[in-house]
Amino acid sequence: MRHWFQFPIIEGKASRQAHCDLPDGTYERECGKEGFFGPASHMYHKHPPTGWINWEGPLRPRAIDTTRLEQPGVTPWDASLLLYNDNLKLRVWNSLQNMDHLVRNGDGDEVLFVHQGSGHLYCDYGHLTFRDGDYIVIPRATSWRIEVDNPVSLLLIEASNSGYQMAERGLVGQHAIFDPAILEYARIDELFLAQQSSDQHWHVLLKARNHMNTITYPYNPLDAQGWKGDLTVFKLNWRDIRPLMSHRYHLPPSAHSTFVANGFVICTFVPRPIESDPNALKVPFYHNNDDYDEVLFYHRGNFFSRDNIEAGMITHHPCGFSHGPHPKALATSQQNPKKETDEVAVMIDARFPLEIAELPNGVENKDYVYSWRHEKC
């Protein structure tokens, strides 16, 4: 057994309760280990921790506008790779048409987050309808395809060489955040059985060990007549998530964990009341997440801690630097705080550093690193 050293200390002017009752004229910054789960200290600074005026070097916060990506091809494996490491691959794929083939990921479980559109997913386990805001969890080596009712934009999150599990609920119990009974799974229904009647040749595009393989069948291999067990394709919509809240304390992102995989977690930020205690912070606190890279995909709403961020954008904050609310958002939260948020965003916290793929010109906002500039520092 091993444990972190723990000896709470207070030096100089400091609050005895994190994220509340800040000493006058100070800015709080949390320095934490293990992504908000480990030991932490809270600094109280005279100036904003993000008050830099110049930044040199490749390690910097980034903002990517996925709506500017061009996507040739008709398969999810044509999706643009954006961020990646040995545990995780992040892509975005847009589709205007039905898939006439199947795909199979041999490298890990996949989560599809439906940013836009609606349609039908057919897979080994059956048929599942989907709409915007759905997470669809697909186990490794499952064959699947989609039919499109409305143009679809998907965020693809691969758990390389691992699978997705539920986050630990702890004291709040197994029915908090979302009841597992709300999950919907693929069914062998009339639509699934009807699509088996095709006698054409079907191709399965298998991605495995980062190579492509094409497997051809003289029939539709989605021909299951039944199945039993507890491994399947299922979906969860953000509208069915009931977030943990505290009216007196701003909860860390880890409180909103939705899925856990080896080396990363997926969190979901959904609309909620904003803290009503007059001395509690109303926006995410400045912090150093010194063990995790943070990625946010912005789905919809007004992103209350960010300026000039629109739906369909991704931000990447690598570990090792201070970040937090943008200046205008912080000022608004102090002077004219809202009663509730209306944002929906997918957050990925990666335990090991993420690499950024080569991006076409115009997709990344190169000036994002300076979006925290203050008029006075």
> Do 261 and 207 reside in the same domain of the chain?
no
pLDDT over threshold 80, residue 298? yes
Here the tokens at position 53 are 């005026």
Residue among 237, 259, 236, 256 nearest 245 (CA) = 256
Q: What is the β-pairing status of strands 143-160 and 108-123?
A: antiparallel
Over residues 108-126, mean pLDDT: 98
287 is in an annotated binding site: yes
Cα gap 75→89, rounded to integer Å = 16
Here the tokens at position 282 are 């109303």
Does residue 4 lie in a domain region?
no
DSSP H stretches of helix in the chain: 190-194, 327-335
> Do 100 and 206 reside in the same domain of the chain?
yes
pLDDT over threshold 70, residue 306? no
> Do 83 and 224 reside in the same domain of the chain?
yes
> Do 259 and 359 reside in the same domain of the chain?
yes
> Do 231 and 155 reside in the same domain of the chain?
yes
pLDDT at 50: 84
Does residue 54 lie in a domain region?
yes
Rounded to two decimals, the pTM is: 0.92
Q: Which H or E run includes 347? A: strand 344-350
Q: Bigger pLDDT: 3 or 78? A: 78
Per-residue confidence at 339, pLDDT binned at 50, 70, 90?
Answer: confident
Does residue 12 lie in a domain region?
no
DSSP H stretches of helix in 139-204: 190-194
247 is in an annotated binding site: no
**Domain assignment of residue 169, given as a range:** 73-238
Q: What is the per-residue pLDDT across 190-235, written as a single tens digit (0 to 9) for each?
A: 999 999 987 789 999 999 998 999 999 999 999 999 999 999 999 9
> Do 122 and 196 reside in the same domain of the chain?
yes
Does residue 37 lie in a domain region?
yes
Asked which of 204, 238, 272 is the last residue of a domain, the reply is 238
Please answer whether residues 45 and 346 qualify as being in contact, where contact means their C-beta atoms are separated by less than 8 angstroms: no
Does residue 104 lie in a domain region?
yes
CATH number at residue 94: 2.60.120.10
CA dihedral 256, 115, 79, 128 (to 10 degrees): 90
333 DSSP 8-state letter = H
Asked which of 238, 256, 285 is the last residue of a domain, the reply is 238
> Do 171 and 194 reside in the same domain of the chain?
yes
Q: What is the per-residue pLDDT across 141-198, written as a single tens digit (0 to 9) for each?
A: 999 999 999 999 999 999 999 999 998 888 888 898 999 999 999 999 999 999 998 7
> Do 223 and 277 reside in the same domain of the chain?
no
Asked which of 177, 204, 238 is the last residue of a domain, the reply is 238
Cα gap 317→324, rounded to integer Å = 10
> Do 190 and 258 reside in the same domain of the chain?
no
> Do 115 and 183 reside in the same domain of the chain?
yes
Residues involved in catalysis: 250
> Do 142 and 255 reside in the same domain of the chain?
no
Domain count, the chain: 2
45 is in an annotated binding site: no
Does residue 2 lie in a domain region?
no
Does residue 256 lie in a domain region?
yes
> Do 168 and 286 reside in the same domain of the chain?
no
